[in-house]
Structure 1
Amino acid sequence: MKIVLEGSKPPIWRRVQIPANLRLPDLHGVVQLAMGWQDAHLYRFMAGNRSEGLRFYGDPDLLDIDLMQQAAGEFINDLNVPIDHLLVNRKDWIRYEYDFGDGWIHRLTLEDIMSSP
């Protein structure tokens, strides 16, 4: 998977290997470590688009679900969502937002699928 901080110049990106069944809260931890963040702010994952419908994934105890639904989106608790439910084929991607005040948006792209030995 390639993680790119959108809008950064020069480009800031990382490449990581993760298991297909990694749950989104754990992927949040991977992004935090890979990008050098401090895990001091809220996060959410975003999939889809406005015409097909946005889906927001995160911790319902921490996020303002009503605000996300007003943004024409559906909210889904990320606790039991494995990444392979969102990223299936090469070049599939989702967004990860960290720190809603500063709005650090990352694009997470599935670059390759490896089989276990």
Structure 2
Amino acid sequence: MSTKPNTKTPVRRNTPNCIYRLRVELQHIAPTIRRRILVPDTLTLGKLDRVIQAAMGWNNTHLHDFTIEGKRYGTPDPQWPEADMLNERRYTVGDVLGPTVQQFRYSYDFGDGWDHTVVVEQRLVTVEGKNTWPMCIDGENACPPEDVGGPPGYMDFLEALRNPTHAQHEDMWTWWGGPFDPLGFSLNEANKAIRKLR
């Protein structure tokens, strides 16, 4: 007999007690595509989704979920109540990670299957005026384009763009709109996108 997850809304605080340093790494892709972000413990999981989207370079056009300590968080669908999806807007990062969680999963675009491993690298003290808002502090390599077909599609996309004699070269060039730099990452652009969320 399955038990319903606890849906009681935790008490909200405005002032963070802790800052989490998270390493977000896209799975099934080489070389590594990753971002390192700082988020306050008061940030809701719904807003953490937006911060990850902005830091990675995704466009927030598909569904997502978090899997943390065996529980699934996201946007519940009333047509699928048996999915036991907890409402991400009701839980903060501090609620679900607390002092002990070391790693969790973030999935984006269930069709393409972009799975991210998120590692809690550090729990930092808050320094008012310095680290109490979300920010990206490091990153490596470009985010794949939306709707490219997941990790296998991305590899095919890169191969087609690299090789002018590839049968799909012109189609991919036109679809993307020109050249694509898989090594490209801009810390400034990541933080600009995150600032737009505030």
Q: Counterpart amino acid of 1:30?
A: V
Q: Secondary structure at the match of 1:100?
A: coil
Q: Does 1:35 align with 2:45?
A: no
Give the gaps of 5 or more residues in structure 1: 49-53, 69-73
Once the two structures are TM-superposed, the CA of residue 88 in structure 1 deviates from its matched residue by 2.7
Q: Does 1:5 align with 2:30?
A: no
**In 2, Cα distance between the equivalents of 1:62 and 1:108?**
28
| Paired position in structure 2 for 1:51 | none
| Paired position in structure 1 for 2:119 | 109
The answer to whether the Cα contact below 8 Å between 1:93 and 1:108 also exists between their aligned partners in 2 is yes
**In 1, Cα distance between the equivalents of 2:78 and 2:104?**
21
Structure 1 residues 5-24: aligned runs within 5 Å: 5-24=26-45
Q: Secondary structure at the match of 1:29?
A: helix
- Tell me: higher relative CO, structure 1 or 2? Use CA pairs within 8 A at least 6 residues apart: 1
**In 1, Cα distance between the equivalents of 2:64 and 2:117?**
13
The structure 1 segments of at least 4 consecutive aligned residues displaced by more than 2 Å after TM superposition are 61-66, 88-91
Q: Secondary structure at the match of 1:112?
A: strand
- Structure with the higher helix share, 1 or 2: 2
The answer to whether the Cα contact below 8 Å between 2:45 and 2:92 also exists between their aligned partners in 1 is yes
Q: Structure 1 stretch 106-115 or stretch 9-18: which is displaced more?
A: 106-115
Q: Secondary structure at the match of 1:2?
A: strand
Could you state the TM-score of these two structures normalised by the residue count of structure 2? Answer: 0.49
Compared CA separation, residues 62 and 97, structure 1 to 2 (3 A) = farther
The answer to whether the Cα contact below 8 Å between 1:89 and 1:110 also exists between their aligned partners in 2 is no
Once the two structures are TM-superposed, the CA of residue 27 in structure 1 deviates from its matched residue by 0.3
Q: Counterpart amino acid of 2:38?
A: Q
The answer to whether the Cα contact below 8 Å between 2:75 and 2:85 also exists between their aligned partners in 1 is no
- Structure with the higher strand share, 1 or 2: 1
Once the two structures are TM-superposed, the CA of residue 61 in structure 1 deviates from its matched residue by 3.6
1:57 alignment partner, one of 45, 68, 73: 73
| Paired position in structure 1 for 2:107 | 97
Percent identity for Structure 1 against Structure 2: 33
Listed one character per residue, the Cα deviations across residues 60-92 of structure 1 (whole Å, up to 9, x for unaligned) are 1488443x4xxxxx4211111011122234761
Q: Does 1:85 align with 2:85?
A: no
Could you state the TM-score of these two structures normalised by the residue count of structure 1? Answer: 0.80
Q: Counterpart amino acid of 1:115?
A: V
**In 1, Cα distance between the equivalents of 2:113 and 2:25?**
14
